[in-house]
Structure 1
Amino acid sequence: MASLLQGRLPINQDLLLMQKGMLMRKVRSKSWKKLRYYRLQDDGMTVWHARQAGGRAKPSFSISDVETVRGGHESELLRNLAEEFPLEQGFTIVFHGRRSNLDLVANSVEEAQVWMQGLQLLVDFVTNMDQQERLDQWLSDWFQRGDKNQDGRMSFGEVQRLLHLMNVEMDQEHAFQLFQTADTSQSGTLEGEEFVEFYKSLTKRAEVQELFENFSSDGQKLTLLEFVDFLQEEQKEGERASDLALELIDRHEPSDSGKLRHVLSLDGFLSYLCSKDGDIFNPTCLPIYQDMTQPLNHYFINSSHNTYLVGDQLCGQSSVEGYIRALKRGCRCVEVDIWDGPNGEPVVYHGHTLTSRIPFKDVVAAIAQYAFQTSDYPVILSLENHCSWEQQEMIAHHLTEILGEQLLSTTLDGQLPTQLPSPEELRRKILVKGKKLRTLEEDLEEEEEEPEESELEGEQEAELELEAQFESEPQELSPRSKDKKKKVKAILCPALSALVVYLKAVSFYSFAHSREHYRFYEISSFSEAKAKSLIKESGNEFVQHNTWQLSRVYPGGLRTDSSNYNPQEFWNAGCQMVAMNMQTAGLEMDLCDGLFRQNAGCGYVLKPDFLRDAQSSFHPERPISPSKAQTLLIQVISGQQLPKVDDSKEGSIVDPLVRVEIFGVRPDTARQETSYVENNGFNPYWGQTLCFRVLVPELALLRFVVKDYDWKSRNDFVGQYTLPWNCMQQGYRHIHLLSKDGISLHPASIFVHICIREGIEGVES
């Protein structure tokens, strides 16, 4: 079966050496370092490990799990062990999602190079695979798992076991018939290509064939005109359908003669439906498609809370990996809690807890390296400064020296602005958010004059209030209660103050106070509880406040497990920076990923016009139904190759159901689900229609979740996909499922038909 892919795999000396296997040290900490024998399997796509050469091997990882490979110099852990092992002998395998990195140390620099180069070659190969190659790879993986005695062929007994692994409950007689038909060599076993034919017969899509025949006059092919009809009537492609039909035939029709005659076979039709062209996510929303020239406060900004943590907030690990992961997934606002550290060097950690500490300069170096790998748009450093004067000077020094030209240290043109600059104007710039001694006006007036000694002394008298309690964010206090509250008072160093330009942190008292006393470049932070109560009491005022000033919302201090709130209710009020604990997977992060999936995942999404209008009458709690209210009809048709919930339960097969959830303003938030299909995760059929009414589609997100029905306990999560309403395509669409960590579960999908109608008549609330 490996031959399916091996013909396309690059032949390379490094890969041949990896297939022989090598002894390396697996490193988890300063005290945990163990020898392991790693070997690339003959399929070229999986790496196994054993305690020694010839020992009992276990799967370690698949190449498709790997995001990238880093040298030892880039590993936080290996740098700490530099006295024991030369950094050139170490390397780090970084996985997709939240899986921990794998740090390895080879016996020589040459052996480390073999693995680094070989793995990167394979990762690039997998990344560039087309749809067919990915399917071949998936089949190859299953063949390896089913071929128990590893002889390259499968008996009917092995096939039966494999069907269980693949989530298929099938009549034994029917399975044996398909097996015999596929066994063209009549050897009583299935080899590579025979197994592929067997798989094809298993995955015949009756619902797709029926759809194809509805539009095909002869049941054999779709002519160009028939395909154009399908694209116009069902897929709502409108005037572009004719040009699109030619493009799609050229892209998906497997036969050259079909391409020449401009016809689409059933195989070509299925290929189209399963591809990105047939995806529910509208391809026009994939690149940067929004206006990026509006002021920063007109955008939702992908924001992280306690970015340094990769675990919980009491004793979890702090790591620069938190910053690297957040920035690589498109996050544009990261949080840095800074405290006095040893030897005059500030450290980053969650104050007054047992979380580990990392040098501030390491954090800044990681940000400098990774800030613009995913997006060119500006990165905001939200500083929580708890440091003494001397160490604040060191903070300013590191920011200036390490970030260099990337750091924005004065207004863009040296002039006093009248509004915040746009993401476009701030491309590849890093902005500091924090306390500031003076106004921007005072800074600009005196920028060219050297402050005299007496002036500096005067500045030193300005007091910066720092919270010394468990919650590191500024509290929203009334002026009176503020006077009563005991605080640790420290002096803000002018060098650090000067680096805060457009994002001066100020305490929030009331919307009236902000309007009267604050400027557009000042920003307030709100705990989730405070933001919720403001939305309830003064929702419209909050919306108007967010049209001229930035707001940051952060999770409450009681979320010591790094759980998340639902970000949607804060987006509904126009809050731009709704900070999430990105290390924690779940519904809330699915919504965050879903919103920022559009616009090239650049981390900035333009708010709807009614959240950008200074005179907006919009109230998130009591939205008046605009004329754009819509009705959504979703027919959930079928599922394909759904994964098992628990791989260890070989006998159990999922009983899948599909839940469709809408998140938006309160009246729009709803969920409905299909019934469950018993014992079939391979090709379940539902054919059920769900109906929703949506008053404010501009704010709505859709989440499709597949669950494994269990009458004894909570239904288990199988997979999900979340997207903004305005990025949804109508017609017959596949939804390609993602894991809890947001990683593709290819080829798992659900097949749906989407229909959007204007108005909400006849729909029950």
Structure 2
Amino acid sequence: MPKPLAKAPAGSSPNRRLTFNVHGTEAISSLKRALNIGLFLAPTVIHLQGDGVPGGKRDLYLSAAIQRSLRQLFSDLCRGEPTLTLKNFRNFLEIEQGEQPDKASTMLTEDTYRFEQFLEIWWIKFGLEIERPISIGDKDLTKPISNYFIDSSHNTYLPSHQWGGKATVETYKRALRQGCRCVEIDVWDNDTAPSRDKSLAGSARGIPRSERSQKFSTNTLHTAAAHIKGAVDDKIEQTRQFLGVEKAHSYSPRCSKFDVSSPSSGQENGLTLGLADTDTDANAAADEKANAEQRSGRSKTVLPRDEPIVMHGFTFNQPIGFRQVCKAIREVAFETTHLPIIVSLEVHALSDQQESMVQIMKEEWAGFLVEKPHEACPNGRMPRLEDLLDKILVKVKKASLSTESSIAAGSLSPKGVAMDDDAASGPEDDRSTKRPPPKVPICENLSNLAVYTHSEHFVNFESSSAKTPSHIFSISENRILDLWESKRDELFTHNRHFFMRAYPKAMRIDSSNPDPSQFWRKGVQMVAMNWQKWDEGMMLNKAMFSGEHGWVLKPTAYRSNGHELCHQTTDLSHRTFDLIITVLAGQHIPLPEGMPRHKSHSFRPQVKCELHVEKSEERSGNPGEAGVKLRSIEWKKQTSSGKTDHPEFGMENRELCFRGIPKVEESLSFVR
């Protein structure tokens, strides 16, 4: 079944009624072509005038079930008249649908409306096209960058789970093209470099001999393990091809455990009013082709012998070159939007390879890399989003700097943070539970690139580093939830003014994701998601950032006010919320796997709906009496069963009613 998802629009009426027509995986573009006449109740065309649509007239193919439902709705609104009056249409949009009066008034310019006009304005302008990307010109880009939620990824180089496979640049390209604006790169020394005495190399200065030996041995062992696994994988693939054995694969949501491609947009995947599918055959086929090329050796990665590499430390992940990743990022960085990118570096390489990293980034990102403060940001002020269009920011730990060199660096960050002991480095994923990797000193040239986004190890909210404008705390999902229980107001106040990044807990080796909305409601700007897996968490992430170019302005109470730090509590101005979703009919609902087309008459689809809002225990941070967690309040509804893959849901149980939901922040609430 499709897994629909929509975001409750910000600033809408607290009493909202949405009417949905459910589409399957068939794309809108496909529906506009002649369809197979053998399909049950093949859709027929409705001719729209296409006002304002390039090319003039527009045809909409709808099944008989959907047309009956829509014509009945139109007839009810007309109240016995042959056409729909302006007053009745406006009441429907504003009262029933909860649309903003100014938007409704802009769309309604006639005194009466025929059925086709009604469909074009309501279903097209307020429905099918609701997922179109917003124009950057219509976004508020005037706030400091810490006042926005940012679409973020975790271990972006991985194509599947956290412990194996081959790192690939394609995952960066896919994520950036689909709106991600914060990517992660784990950088390591290249052990395939020409032989050199690493115990005496300049890269090892400042690291005790005992730690140097541990560093080199673990890195070398990891690389060897990755190459051995790669060789075994290639041999298995060669044997499979020699024997002519087909690789079994299913693209159904149930079988595609890992899929780096998620729905690209609502309109492209046959969506109505924000409903989305789980994946597309085209994307899945492209991924399988790329994976097959890797397995067969046609796209083998050739690592440079003198440059750092990207890999997942202490696992069997096979590496790629750091320059390759930088090239891929530059290639697609601003292909779909001009809003900035944050590159989060997890540095395990020593200083000589760090210098190489700096050189590579400056070469590959020339003209885009932020290397010094913006001229419009005096006195340590963080830049506005509009100040950083087409820019790449680097997030990395700061080096130990002298007073003079700190001033020369021109950074907003403090003078003397010594080691890369950020939670985002090494221990973040707890890949080496018995002995975490040694802390790597960051060289000054790399450190200087962290102009507005420098990593800080979290100690407490009272430390001096917690007040530095450019700092970013990277904290695991579990620890943030613990802080919410013990330091709720301090956490929320910090995140109104400064950056915080949440990353998945160590046990998510299958690349699963947490519910990101619980962290957004705590003001966390960056919730690093495993884009390798399309699950409930990624659906919520998609709903949050769909059409928003990867940056979403926080609600007013979640933002800094431009004055001195103030300790505003989380007692925000929420409202009681009513939501009614009416499910009328559907067409091309995907049949269960293995069900032949001629058996579709026995298919009984349902529509299930979940409302994701802040729960009372989540809001209070209170673990409950005697330390027992409060029971979650679930908001779930479902329709009665329809018939066939072109169902009509009738009158019984087609309304999914959510009434009297307390203290809702609409822009951080979601429908799935």
- Answer yes or no: same fold by TM over 0.5: yes
Q: Which amino acid aligns with 1:695?
A: K
Counterpart residue identity of residue 498, structure 1: N
The answer to whether the 8 A contact 1:466-1:489 is kept is no
TM-superposed deviation, 1:311:
1.0
Aligned to 1:630: 576
Question: Shift in Å at residue 615 of structure 1?
Answer: 2.7
One-letter identity of the residue aligned with 2:394: V
For residue 639 of structure 1, what is the aligned residue in structure 2? Answer: 585
Structure 1 counterpart SS, 2:568:
coil
Q: Contact conserved, 1:385 with 1:466, CA < 8 A, in 2?
A: no
1:157-201 deviations in Å (ceiling 9; x for gaps):
xxxxx329x8x9xxxxxxxxx9xxxxxxxxxxxxxxxxx99x877
1:207 aligns with 2:69: yes
Unaligned segments of structure 1, at least 5 residues: 1-128, 147-161, 169-177, 179-195, 250-261, 449-457, 476-483, 705-765
Shift of 1:296: 1.4
Matched-pair contact (CA < 8 Å) for 2:428–2:476: no
d(CA) in 1 for partners of 2:309, 2:132: 43
- What does residue range 112-131 of structure 1 map to in structure 2 within 5 Å? none
Contact 2:424 2:474 in 1 (8 A): no
Select 1:406's aligned residue among 365, 368, 374: 368
SS of corresponding position for 1:524: strand
**Post-superposition CA distance 1:508-553 (Å, at most 9, x none):** 11112256x6512121110111111111211211011112221111
RMSD: 3.8
1:690 matches 2:663: no
Task: Decide whether the 8 Å contact of 2:557 with 2:572 is kept in 1.
Answer: no
Q: Which residue of 1 aligns with 2:555?
A: 608
Cα separation, partners in 2 of 1:700 and 1:645, compared to 1, 3 Å: farther
CA 474–428 in structure 1, closer or farther in 2 if over 3 Å, else same: farther
Cα deviations by residue, 1:213-248 (Å, 9 ceiling, x for unpaired): 2343665433556645654554555366555223xx
Instruction: Tell me the equivalent position of 1:552.
Output: 501
Task: Choose 1 or 2 for highest CA Rg.
Answer: 1
Pick from 182, 204, 207: which aligns with 1:333?
A: 182
Structure 1 683/550 Cα, relative in aligned 2: closer, same or farther at 3 Å? Answer: same
Determine the C-alpha separation between the residues in 1 that align with 2:146 and 2:391. Answer: 16
Partners in 2 of 1:474 and 1:420 — Cα distance? Answer: 32
Within 5 Å, give how 1:415-426 maps onto structure 2: 417-426=379-388
Q: 2: CA distance between counterparts of 1:302 and 1:439?
A: 32
Question: Counterpart of 1:528?
Answer: 477
Distance 2:121 2:402 in 1: 55
Cα-to-partner distance string for 1:614-670 (whole Å, 9 max, x where unaligned): 435333xxxx473x4132130423131142243531125542333332223223964
Between the aligned partners of 1:440 and 1:703, the Cα distance in structure 2 is: 52
Amino acid corresponding to residue 497 of structure 1 in structure 2? S
CA, structure 1 residues 441+422, in 2 after alignment: closer, same or farther (shift >3 Å)? Answer: farther
Within 2, Cα distance between the matches of 1:441 and 1:489? 23
Match of 1:367 among 329, 335, 355: 329
Question: In 2, Cα distance between the equivalents of 1:376 and 1:204?
Answer: 39
Letter matched to residue 535 of structure 1 = W
User: Residue 373 of structure 1 aligns to a residue in which SS?
Assistant: coil
Assess if the C-alpha contact under 8 Å between 1:299 and 1:607 holds in 2.
yes
* Further displaced range: 236-245 or 361-370: 236-245
Q: Does 1:432 align with 2:394?
A: yes
Report matched runs for 1:322-361 at 5 Å: 322-341=171-190, 342=192, 343-361=305-323
- Tell me, yes or no, if structure 1 residue 388 matches structure 2 residue 350: yes
* C-alpha separation in 2, matches of 1:663 and 1:467: 29
Select the residue among 518, 523, 539 that pairs with 1:590. 539
Structure 1 pair 524/468, CA: closer, same or farther in 2 (3 Å)?
closer
Give secondary structure in 2 for the equivalent of 1:523: strand
Q: CA, structure 1 residues 489+637, in 2 after alignment: closer, same or farther (shift >3 Å)?
A: closer
Partner in structure 1 of residue 108 of structure 2: 245
Please give the alpha-carbon distance, in whole angstroms, between the structure 2 residues aligned to 1:654 and 1:595.
33
> Partner amino acid for 1:362?
Q
What are the residue-to-residue correspondences of 1:482-561 with 2, within 5 Å? 488-514=438-464, 518-561=467-510
**Number of matched pairs:** 488
What per-residue deviation string (whole Å, max 9, x for no partner) do you get for residues 450-491 of structure 1? xxxxxxxx99x955448899645699xxxxxxxx98752444
Which of 40, 62, 68 is residue 163 of structure 1 equivalent to? 40
Residue 311 in 1 paired to residue 160 in 2? yes
Corresponding residue number in structure 1 for 2:230: none
Shift of 1:286: 6.6
Contact 2:490 2:567 (C-alpha < 8 Å) held by counterparts: no
Match of 1:660 in 2: 609
Structure 1 pair 493–215 and aligned structure 2 pair: CA distance change class (3 A) = closer
Spell out the pairing of 1:121-200 with structure 2 (5 A cutoff). Answer: 134-137=30-33, 139-140=34-35, 142-143=36-37, 146=38, 162-163=39-40
Within the candidate set 693, 701, 712, 2:669 is matched to 701
What is the CA-CA distance between 1:291 and the residue it aligns to?
A: 2.3
Question: TM (normalized to structure 1)?
Answer: 0.58
Identity of aligned residues (%): 30
Q: Partners in 2 of 1:284 and 1:688 — Cα distance?
A: 29
1:617 and 2:585 matched: no
SS state at 1:676 partner: coil
Shift of 1:389: 1.7
The 8 Å contact of residues 172 and 329 in structure 2, kept in 1 or not, is answered as yes
**Aligned partner of residue 329 in structure 2, secondary structure:** helix
User: 2 CA distance for matches of 1:200 and 1:541?
Assistant: 53
Q: Residue 504 of structure 1 aligns to which amino acid in structure 2?
A: H
Amino acid at match of 1:701: S
Aligned partner of residue 453 in structure 2, secondary structure? strand
CA distance in 2 between counterparts of 1:661 and 1:416 reads 47
Q: Is the 8 A contact 2:608 2:639 kept in 1?
A: no
1:245-285 per-position Cα deviation (integer Å, ceiling 9, x unaligned)? 23xx7xxxxxxxxxxxx753334433444313345949896
SS of corresponding position for 1:366: helix
Distance 1:284 1:241, change over 3 A: farther
- Does the CA-based 8 Å contact 2:65-2:585 persist in structure 1? no
Report the Cα offset of residue 393 of structure 1.
Answer: 1.1
Give the Cα separation in 2 of the matches to 1:277 and 1:433.
39
**Inter-partner Cα distance in structure 2 for 1:603 and 1:558:** 27
- What secondary structure is seen at the aligned counterpart in 1 of 2:496? coil
- Give 2:336's aligned amino acid: T
Q: Is the 8 A contact 1:302 1:333 kept in 2?
A: yes
Could you say if the C-alpha distance between residues 309 and 241 of structure 1 is closer, same or farther in structure 2, counting changes exceeding 3 Å? closer
* AA matched with 2:141: M
Secondary structure at 2:314 match in 1 = coil
